[in-house]
Chain A
């Protein structure tokens, strides 16, 4: 099966620091692929290069078989890449519905009419409300986003990404800051999402990683030291030494 998303030999240096050292990984249809590694391993730098925020010094990024290395964030989003952030990036002064409508606008291909009321556009509203409904936020549609709990903001981030009907998701620590209950709820939701679009996920919550991931890649000092199934990663001595600790 052809990968939906793929990096080939991505290299990125910041001065003397080698943040990405020839990283090649792929995301296959229907899977959740978790990227783990200790702090400072270069996970966020890699995610930023995949999303288009940072340009790699060498190597390439491919989405649905197309080389998207030269494209910016917005163009990759239009090409089918959905993204959520480590720290929720939402319009906090706006309502929940307005944030979802923003996503629905993007799904239209970037046309932004100047005059018709955004919230009076039936199509935009329907797309936005359907996405909010899926993450159980429809009842909070008229709430100001700043008033949402941390977990609800996480859900809204996913809803905004859903409005775009992406072909692949890139999620940067979706479980960060969630309590046990919130984490379990989001885990269930992402579990069901993988058939719709595969998910590449950076995550520190090992319970979530081992519950969800079909494959796991381990990044240490900018280098991919292993990629494999849960059991393979658990059994890998390099991973045990470098990340999980000898006792794991």
Chain B
């Protein structure tokens, strides 16, 4: 664990500062349509991905930037993607919502809440049936627990004993809905009903996340089947940056302040020497200065290419206007 102290700090700090820089670009109009900031939840992405191998697979959701960065995607190409530039990791076709990076095993971010976990089950089924020991981690939130397709796929994952990690980032709210008002019983109880081991873990501490995920990864890799990990976490910022304008009042300041006392960047930063932390911080500032510059300087796609990539076979559909 000690050997990962600095890398874990580096990841949570990178995600935090990446999101802060991205919010600046939302405010200045470089990123159009806003983002779902990951600020506050960084320990989950950092700890989970530190337990994975490079060739393991991740399925993400609308709050995906942290997952991509923790899985090793290049910050400048993620930032360019958010800004809709052709140098983006998905050639400017994913935006903030749908980041994928197949070189890093990130199979995509799908926003039909909870449904990405079923795509993950399919990848995990194929991975195991093809005789590999690769595992698939699917990130979902507490809101996903009430999607029928998620419950369907928990049944399939257990029945087929696939190497899947169902990572629940329980940040207490599905947009404005408190988890207690939307979810009967318990999240781990639902896993147990399907015969899937479930654990509730502190999601503000990267090392606690890493420890719990490592155990689940070992079980999956050795043929022991899926696990569900519920990480108790909190987003310090908005559900989406549109909240800056509409000022929703679904949480108290006291509650936000209470969770901020366990800021994962501070938690992990306190575990490494000041000198190392300052060095990492500076390095990240340089990386992100480059990323922002790269995003701003990169070209936008040519409107003539608006139908590119629609079909993997290159099929070009009929235009919308025929002269």
A and B found bound together: no
